[in-house]
Amino acid sequence: MSYPGYGPPSAPALEARGLSKTFGSIQAVRELSFSVQRGSVTGFLGPNGSGKSTTLRMMLGLVRPTTGDAVVNGVPYTSLAHPSRVVGAVLDAQSVHPKRTARHHLRLFTPVLGLPDQRADEVLALVGLTEAADRPAGQFSLGMRQRLALATALLGDPEILVLDEPANGLDPEGIAWLRDFLRSYARSGRTVLVSSHIIREVEQIVDHLVILSYGSLVYQGSIDQLRQMRPGHVLVAASDPPALAVALAARGVTDTRIGPDGRLVVTGSSEPDISSAAADAGVTVFGTTAEHIDLEQVFLSMTTSQYVSAPVGPNQPQGQWGGPPQQYGPPQQYGPPAQQYGPPPQQWGPPQQWGPPPNQQPPTQPGQWNGGQG
Ligand SMILES: Nc1ncnc2c1ncn2[C@@H]1O[C@H](COP(=O)(O)OP(=O)(O)OP(=O)(O)O)[C@@H](O)[C@H]1O
């Protein structure tokens, strides 16, 4: 596939290079470097307030970085000859006039993008909203508004999709639809960056992850690498668990312990290998249960939530029970930024501006775990 005018084809689809953003005393994003490989569906994850939206806005030229820069296909966004054909973005699925029909809403954009009006109907069909084309968006459910926002991003048939919390408000059927849609989009060689604060929401959708905590990168790499970093266990009901542990150790599997129910908990081995070791040692295996790693737990252990509520209880002065009293509760930067109020006219569809890229920093290596700093 060639990308005439879009920079070298070997370049990542999207790249953040030492991005930082400070709002007054709030450091929303800190020295953030990561890349999104072409053809991937990459999850951009972090708790509320960890800096995801700010980063996406910086990548799309809607917020000027304090330091660092971001590139699309190796070049600044402003250098793209046809930006709407390169990047389609949904940064706020709610920014639709409630009285406008879905078709009318989309037809506001088609002339701006130099597209025929019928493109509006094509993208409505792509997201399954044909039946709702003439209904006012104000009557739409949250999930339907998400689909309409996605339709808007698809207008220019872009090679890169950037979606901020697209699964928000979707029911399980909607999430399954989104998963199939985005995965087939990526199979055609295109690229998807999708943010979420809930790893379970995107676990089945993404193949790569970039995880933020307090504006800093804590992980980037494949979802499989992340699973392997915290392998699951196999619980083994055996006639002689200690003997089985010795047999496994002889095969190099040393991470074993007897669980509270007497079963042997084995980490780093497969059920067939355990059965084979047991057979060689003359130990009878009554049953095995594989316990797969819960990515939600891994995600929570890597990240620190910025918005935590104080414990609630009748007539309890703060600090006498529950969590730690002083530092508990929202940090100083809590509260919606002023910029989020009022109409967000240009937050989705093709970005309109791009800040200058002053600094460059090498990207963090794939699969890197930054130890939860930040
Ligand atoms: N325009 C702004 N002015 C001041 N502070 C801002 C502004 N935009 C974002 N912030 C602050 O920057 C921090 C990161 O916010 P951001 O919206 O990027 O996080 P997020 O990870 O997208 O959160 P969420 O999942 O809740 O959408 C927050 O503390 C937020 O209050």
* 102-154 per-position pLDDT tens digit: 999 999 999 988 899 999 999 999 999 999 999 998 898 888 888 999 999 99
Ligand 1: atom nearest CA of 306 is 29
Ligand 1: which of 30, 54, 210 to mutate, most ligand atoms within 8 Å of CB?
A: 54
Identify whether residues 106 and 240 lie together within a single domain: no
Identify whether residues 72 and 220 lie together within a single domain: yes
Ligand 1: which of 20, 29, 32, 52 to mutate, most ligand atoms within 8 Å of CB?
A: 52
Q: What is the 3-state secondary structure (H, E, C) of the chain?
A: CCCCCCCCCCCCCEEEEEEEEEECCEEEEEEEEEEECCCCEEEEECCCCCCHHHHHHHHCCCCCCCEEEEEECCECHHHCCCHHHHEEEECCCCCCCCCCEHHHHHHHHCCCCCCCCHHHHHHHHHCCCHHHCCCEHHHCCHHHHHHHHHHHHHCCCCCEEEEECCCCCCCHHHHHHHHHHHHHHHHCCCEEEEEECCHHHHCCCCCEEEEEECCEEEEEEEHHHHHHHCCCEEEEEECCHHHHHHHHHHCCCCCEEECCCCCEEEECCCHHHHHHHHHHHCCCEEEEEEECCCHHHHHHHHCCCCCCCCCCCCCCCCCCCCCCCCCCCCCCCCCCCHHHCCCCCCCCCCCCCCCCCCCCCCCCCCCEECCCCC
- Assess: ipTM above 0.90: yes
335 C-alpha to ligand 1 centroid (Å): 9
Identify whether residues 272 and 356 lie together within a single domain: no
Ligand 1: which of 20, 23, 58, 90 to mutate, most ligand atoms within 8 Å of CB?
A: 23
Identify whether residues 33 and 136 lie together within a single domain: yes
- Band (pLDDT 50/70/90 cuts) for residue 169 is confident
* Alpha carbon of residue 340 to chain centroid: 21
Determine whether the shortest distance from the Cβ of 46 to ligand 1 is under 6 A: yes
pLDDT of 298 higher than 90: no
Contact 154, 88 (CB under 8 A): yes
The C-alpha atoms of residue 323 and residue 339 are separated, in whole angstroms, by 32
Determine whether the shortest distance from the Cβ of 364 to ligand 1 is under 6 A: no
Determine whether the shortest distance from the Cβ of 26 to ligand 1 is under 6 A: yes
| Mean pLDDT, range 198-218, rounded to an integer | 91
Ligand 1: atom nearest CA of 56 is 18
The C-alpha atoms of residue 145 and residue 137 are separated, in whole angstroms, by 7
Identify whether residues 247 and 276 lie together within a single domain: yes
Number of domains in the chain: 2
CA nearest to 162, candidates 192, 188, 184, 183? 192
The C-alpha atoms of residue 116 and residue 361 are separated, in whole angstroms, by 41
Q: Are strands 26-36 and 14-23 parallel, antiparallel or unpaired?
A: antiparallel
CA angle, residues 13, 14, 20, in degrees to nearest 5: 170
Look at the alpha carbons of 217, 221, 227, 230 in this order and tell me if their dihedral is positive or negative: negative
195 C-alpha to ligand 1 centroid (Å): 13
The C-alpha atoms of residue 167 and residue 20 are separated, in whole angstroms, by 26
Q: What are phi and psi of 200, to 5 degrees?
A: -65, -30
Contact 118, 137 (CB under 8 A): no
In the chain, the N- to C-terminal Cα span, in Å, equals 39
pLDDT of 341 higher than 50: no
Is 328 part of a structural domain of the chain? no
Determine whether the shortest distance from the Cβ of 221 to ligand 1 is under 6 A: no
Question: Which residue in this structure is represented by tokens 């676990």?
Answer: 203
Is 364 part of a structural domain of the chain? yes
pTM of the predicted model, to two decimals?
A: 0.72
Determine whether the shortest distance from the Cβ of 51 to ligand 1 is under 6 A: yes
Identify whether residues 361 and 257 lie together within a single domain: no
Q: Which of 95-104, 302-311, 315-324 has the highest mean pLDDT?
A: 95-104
pLDDT (0 to 100) of residue 373: 36
Identify whether residues 206 and 91 lie together within a single domain: yes
pLDDT (0 to 100) of residue 182: 92
Cross-strand pairs, 29: 21
Which two three-digit tokens encode residue 18?
């030492």
Ligand 1: atom nearest CA of 335 is 31
Tally Cβ neighbours within 10 Å of residue 34: 28
Identify whether residues 90 and 236 lie together within a single domain: no
334 C-alpha to ligand 1 centroid (Å): 9
Q: What are phi and psi of 350, to 5 degrees?
A: -65, 135
Identify whether residues 161 and 32 lie together within a single domain: yes
* 234-280 per-position pLDDT tens digit: 999 999 999 999 999 999 999 999 999 999 999 888 899 999 999 99
pLDDT of 367 higher than 70: no
Domain enclosing residue 264, as ranges: 231-292
Identify whether residues 68 and 155 lie together within a single domain: yes
CA nearest to 278, candidates 305, 253, 311, 303? 253
Identify whether residues 124 and 244 lie together within a single domain: no
pLDDT (0 to 100) of residue 302: 86
CATH number of domain containing 63: 3.40.50.300
Identify whether residues 207 and 251 lie together within a single domain: no
| Mean pLDDT, range 77-83, rounded to an integer | 82
Nearest-10 Cα torsion for 332, 336, 340, 343: -150
Determine whether the shortest distance from the Cβ of 23 to ligand 1 is under 6 A: yes
